[in-house]
Each structure stands twice: as C-alpha cells, then as structure tokens.
Structure 1
Amino acid sequence: MQAEHDKAEKKEQSRLNKIRRDERRMKAEQELPFEDYKALQKQLSKESQQESIQLKQMNYYWKETIAQARQKVADFEANIQRLKDERKAKSAALQQKLFQQYAFLNAQGETKSLGAIFDNNPPASAGECAARNCCTMPFNTNCNRLPWLNFGGDNRQSLKYGNTAIFIPRVRANANPFWLTC
C-alpha cells in the first residue's frame, strides 16, 4: 500500500537525519565557539521540528485519504446491500403472486392456490411436477380415478400407496398436501 510505503520511507529518512544532526552537534561542540554552537543547535532543532511537522502532515494526509476511500467502499457496499434487499423483496413478492395464481381443483370442485395449500410457504419446486395437471384433470372431466404419479427418480426407490399413486419417500412429504386438496 502506498501509504505504508510513504510512512516507512519518511520515518527512515527522519531516523537518518537525526543521526546526521547528532553527529553535527557532537562535532560542532568540539570544534565551534560556544555562540556558533548555540546557533547551530537552534538550527538543528528547527530542522528536527520541521521534519516532525512534515511527518505529522503526511500521516494526516494518508489518514484522511484512507478514511475517504473507506467511506466510498462503505457507500458502495451499502448500495449493493440495498439492491440485494430490493431484489429479494421483489422476488418474494413475485413468488407469492405466482403461488396465489397457481391453483388446484379438488373433488368438491373448489379451487385452492398453492399458497393456500402450504400456508404461503410452499416447499422448493412445489407444483412443478405433473401432480397439478394429474390431480385437476380427473375433476375437470368428471373422472372418479386419479392417474398414476411418479415423483422424481426411478421406481426401484418407490413405495406404493393405495391403488392410485406411486411416491418416492424423499418427496412424499412435499406431495402429500397436493393429495389432501384432491
């Protein structure tokens, strides 16, 4: 990251400058008259203060730059989350609308929607099999027998229930509400 690189570089430069200032101080203390030594010490002190100020300014600059970048990222993430929530709400509304429009006819001639059958919480892929047409067709044509149904998979895994249907155990729970409406 550029900020870390700049900070490390500036700190290293400050460390080297401090070493040079200390060497100059020691040399000046031995070689210069007292007044000149005091003037040099003031100058070196000012250089040290300037360097410290520059380091603080650079740290402040990077702190602000990083804070602004983080705020932009947070804004983007909030916008993404808002769009996800909006999509989720629209999807749920559409799904409920479809559940209400997907209707089954029972033996008494009453129509029930998929949402009503499952209390507005149908299992995954409810109503996507042939059960709807197979359940509704006999009642539309005044037929008194239901056709054979196979819910996903092969018959080796099937269990036979009564004379009217074949169910596979893993989907039996999902299929039962359809049969209750029929």
Structure 2
Amino acid sequence: MVKKAIAAGILAGLVLFALVQHFYKTEEPQAIEASKATTGIGAGMVAPTFTLKNLAGEEVSLKDYRGKKVMLNFWATWCPPCKEEMPAMEQFYKENSKEVEILAVNLDPQNNVKSFVKDNELTFPILLDQDGTTQQTYSIISIPTTFIINEQGLILKKHIGSMTFEQMQELMK
C-alpha cells in the first residue's frame, strides 16, 4: 500500500512537471548574439565581426563576406596539427573558392608568417590577429579551431582540431 502511494506521488509529480514545462515554455531565439555568450561561441550564434590586416597590410572585415559561406580557421605557424591541415585547406580552397571563402586567422604574427605561407604555397587569405582580440572574442583555447559561417553571418558548425580534405567537404554540407 505504501509503495503504491509513493509511486502515485512520483507519477503525479512527473505529470505536474510536464504540464508546467508545456505551458510555460519560452521560445528559443533563432540566433544568439555571440558577443553576449558566456560559455564560448558555437553553432546558432551570430559570428562576431572583426577587422584584421592581411599579409599585404590591407584591412579585411568578416562583414565583407556576407552573402558567402566562410570557413574561419584559427591557427599558428608552430602548431603541428595546423601545419598538417594546411595542404588540405589549400586543396579545398582551390576547388571551392567560388562557393566558400577561407579566412585563416594567424595567432602568432610575431613569427615569419609570410615565409610560412610562401613555403606552403597557400593562396587563401591569411589574417593577422596582432593583439589577440579576435582570438579572445571567439574564445579560442585550442588550435586549430574552425567555424563554418553561413551567408547571413550565423555560425553553423564549430570544429576543434585538424581536418582532412574530406572532413572539410563534409563540414560544408
């Protein structure tokens, strides 16, 4: 008898919880402003805009690429997994640059990035995060880290670690 009363009480509590959840449900926003995130940046958020200089010293802004998909990659010249994925990124860029732009944000501009780019025959845009502000804005803890941003500026996916050419193709679907 006591067991039945306990079971009935638990069941009633679960039903009450479900009803409260149903009637007081708030709608989730379509996108979260990433600059207001407290636990890092990820899928579903608006990509924070930034302006950085490229290797030629010209300013490049993320907002200049609205209307085009962007693969935003954070990397460094000393990083073995970053070095490992660069040939795949170059191949991906050569085959997909009409549909997707790659912006590779270098986090160690004090090193000879120009030499690294030349030695690896990279043709996609390399941006220099001189003061680490963009790295902080995007909450980059581990590199390489890549964000896929859609034509409207929303982050679709986040990938931590190096990628193969095939993984890049899959990530862009």
Q: TM-score, normalised by structure 2?
A: 0.29
Q: Which has the larger radius of gyration?
A: 1
**Of Structure 1 and Structure 2, which has the larger fraction of its residues in helix?**
1
Relative contact order (C-alpha < 8 Å, sep 6+): which is higher?
2
Decide which structure has greater strand share: 2
